Structure 1
Amino acid sequence: MADISRAEVATLIQEEYSNALLDNVAVNSAAIAAFGTVPLGTKITNAPVLTTLPEAGWVSESATAAEGVKPTSQVVWANKQFVVEEIAVIIPIHEDTLEDATEDLLDNLTSLGGQAIGKKLDQAILFGVDKPATWLSPDLLAAATAAGNIFQVSATPGEDDLAGSIFQAAGAVADSGANPTDILSGAGLRFRLANLRATDGTAILSRTMGADGSFSDDIAGLDAQFVRNGAWDNAEATAIVADGNRVKIGVRQDITVKFLDQATVGGINLAERDMVALRFKARYAYVLGNTVSSMGTAAEPVAAVTPPAAG
């Protein structure tokens, strides 16, 4: 059997698959789904953020007293730095398999590639797992811990139960001057909240169907994203509440796919083994903006609900 050529498989790896890959990453990254992305033009981008607010004062009508002078106030800006880093994965596949491939197989491969990249991105942003050293902002759980915004679910019924802890976490973010908008959690939380009600009888969890037939989830008034790509660590947190406007994910390069047929990948000489590989690559940056609030203090944009203590 003649070897498959690049030209023969080129029609299977068209531009449209790159678009499908980008969609898969958006679906398989809870962080991107919750917070969106901002485009970046260079590897390092500085974004100015407000660190000091102006203060107004009362002024009298006196032409001579000090109280008649309108006060001046300083506004200070500082830079938050986006540093783009690369996430990549290579999936080898035998030429015979690819020759017989259906569109379903390629869709599955793109989904797996997108899920792998989405999982790695979520792990870094949510829990700091393998977070690049150039990303100076703390991961979301670390930020909540540093702010003292950790609310542990009590193992004793009636004491700081799950729903109560979620409300406490959202309240802590709001009290700091930030705006709690989003909640992220493992997929199981949706079922644990299904029958819980607030004191006024309203459901803690609600689902809304959009015009396109898709569903969106709401927990205690917060937009909910359930992490289904394997990135969520139930032992670390039950839920994370955040001000979505202060979590910034920069994208320098959307996911791209490259066909490899002559490389050596993971010790596998593709040409010798009659194999090819699909390389998935994306480049992201992450910044958490704990900018000044209207109260003049640094906002605390993240809080976390943690599981009951073991035992």
Structure 2
Amino acid sequence: MANIITRTDAEALIPVESSKEIIQAVQHESAVLQLMKKLPNMSSKQTKMPIMSALPVAGFVNGDNGLKPVSSASWENKFITAEEIAVIIPIPEAVLDDAEYDIWAELKPSIISAFGKVIDGAVLFSTEKPTSWPDGIATSAITKKKTVTYGTGIDTAEDISELMGLVEADGFDVTGFAAEIALKSSFRGLRDKNGGLIFAPSLQADTPSTLYGQAINYVKNGSWDSSKVKLIAGDWSQAVYAMRQDMTYKVLDQAVISDASGKILYNLAQQDMVALRCVMRLGWQLPNPVTQLNGTDTRYPFAALVPAGTEHSGG
């Protein structure tokens, strides 16, 4: 009887502690997960978030016996819905037999990058996003005309200052930036009117560079759409995410893997293969509550720096 690699044999590829390690690495690989506010883990597929939609109004009392103003407030519900991100990686048994290196160690960086790309693409640009997730941050900023065209100011610093002003005008504070890596070169040497540097490159590992004193994260996982946006500024505390399920793994050795049309791609048992299946579930939401400066639907806690020559104009 020919030797085969069983499920138990293949599971040795995956160290037990790797689940938590992978989640932390995906959070580091994803620019948005570094910037957004993390909520407690979800206990079910959907979490309800009551958001204030109308603020109370106060006023002065006229004289000793004057009537005190009466006001009201209202809330609306928004939901964080956990959606699944997954990948299946088929591996021929012969490769496992002949390998002289740690295949799991070789696969792990690619898995991390793939998950980070999916998350950032959906959250920033609506790329293949689930219908239950809100529109991407850049997508919504453009729709709401919260944009500044790159190159309209005297330099990049002025463009970004104007961009921050759009966020601040709606009652939010800019707490960070996400940007394409190509923009990094234009930040070096940027100074304010007093000659002070407004860009501080990172000098330590795991410490982000800063722009106007706020963290800037460059999206390097291939999800950034440079044709639409060069940089996003915003109040990232307004964008929240939560984990429903940490990374889980399963080694398949008897499955049939097919594409969306039903065409069989691999028959693992027949082709002497195993497959590593990786799954995680998370959701995100952007509450966008009313503020004292803007109680209308035009408010948005993010603004986008768009390329010159595009159809988008400043907000």
TM-score after normalising by structure 1: 0.89
Is the 2:37–2:237 Cα contact (8 Å) retained in structure 1? no
Q: Distance in 2 between matches of 1:104 and 1:28?
A: 22
Cα 1:257–1:160 change in 2 (3 A) is farther
Q: Distance in 2 between matches of 1:257 and 1:151?
A: 44
- Of residues 234, 238, 243, the one that matches 1:242 is 234
Give the SS at the match of 2:162. Answer: helix
User: Counterpart in 1 of 2:140?
Assistant: 143
Aligned-residue offset at 1:100: 4.8
Give the SS at the match of 1:8. Answer: helix
Aligned-residue offset at 1:51: 1.1
- Of residues 40, 43, 47, the one that matches 2:42 is 40
- More displaced stretch, 13-22 vs 124-133: 13-22
Q: Does 1:309 align with 2:309?
A: yes
Is the 1:207–1:215 Cα contact (8 Å) retained in structure 2? no
Aligned-residue offset at 1:103: 6.5
Q: Does 1:55 align with 2:52?
A: no
Aligned-residue offset at 1:228: 1.1
User: Counterpart in 2 of 1:201?
Assistant: 195
Q: Distance in 1 between matches of 2:154 and 2:300?
A: 21
Is the 2:125–2:135 Cα contact (8 Å) retained in structure 1? no
For each residue in 1:171-230, what CA deviation from the matched residue of structure 2 results, as whole angstroms up to 9, or x when unmatched? Answer: 1101110121111012222222112222222223213456xx533211122211111110
Q: Distance in 1 between matches of 2:3 and 2:110?
A: 29
User: Counterpart in 2 of 1:297?
Assistant: 295
For each residue in 1:212-257, what CA deviation from the matched residue of structure 2 results, as whole angstroms up to 9, or x when unmatched? Answer: x533211122211111110011111100112111111222112222
The aligned amino acid for 2:242 is G
- Of residues 258, 275, 278, the one that matches 1:277 is 275
Aligned-residue offset at 1:141: 1.3
Is the 2:113–2:221 Cα contact (8 Å) retained in structure 1? yes
Q: Distance in 2 between matches of 1:164 and 1:104?
A: 50
Pairwise CA RMSD of aligned residues?
2.0
Cα 1:102–1:36 change in 2 (3 A) is farther
- Of residues 177, 182, 199, the one that matches 1:183 is 177
Q: Does 1:251 align with 2:249?
A: no
User: Counterpart in 1 of 2:29?
Assistant: 28
- More displaced stretch, 93-102 vs 82-91: 93-102
Cα 1:35–1:101 change in 2 (3 A) is farther
Aligned-residue offset at 1:19: 2.0
User: Counterpart in 2 of 1:109?
Assistant: 107
Give the SS at the match of 2:189. Answer: coil
- More displaced stretch, 90-99 vs 118-127: 90-99
Give the SS at the match of 1:24. Answer: helix
Q: Distance in 1 between matches of 2:16 and 2:100?
A: 17
Aligned-residue offset at 1:296: 5.2
- Of residues 138, 157, 160, the one that matches 1:163 is 157
Give the SS at the match of 1:4. Answer: coil
Q: Distance in 1 between matches of 2:125 and 2:15?
A: 35
Q: Distance in 1 between matches of 2:43 and 2:101?
A: 34
Q: Does 1:85 align with 2:87?
A: no
User: Counterpart in 1 of 2:4?
Assistant: 3
Aligned-residue offset at 1:36: 4.1
Aligned-residue offset at 1:139: 1.1
- More displaced stretch, 225-234 vs 100-109: 100-109
The aligned amino acid for 1:257 is Y
Alignment coverage as a number of residue pairs: 300
The aligned amino acid for 1:54 is P
Aligned-residue offset at 1:54: 1.2
Give the SS at the match of 2:210. Answer: strand
The aligned amino acid for 1:32 is L
For each residue in 1:29-48, what CA deviation from the matched residue of structure 2 results, as whole angstroms up to 9, or x when unmatched? Answer: 11111114322221122110
Unaligned runs of 5+ in 2: 259-264, 311-315
Q: Distance in 2 between matches of 1:230 and 1:247?
A: 21
Q: Distance in 2 between matches of 1:294 and 1:76?
A: 14
Cα 1:102–1:140 change in 2 (3 A) is farther
Give the SS at the match of 1:188. Answer: helix
Is the 1:20–1:110 Cα contact (8 Å) retained in structure 2? no
Is the 2:248–2:278 Cα contact (8 Å) retained in structure 1? yes
- Of residues 104, 123, 126, the one that matches 1:125 is 123
The aligned amino acid for 2:142 is T
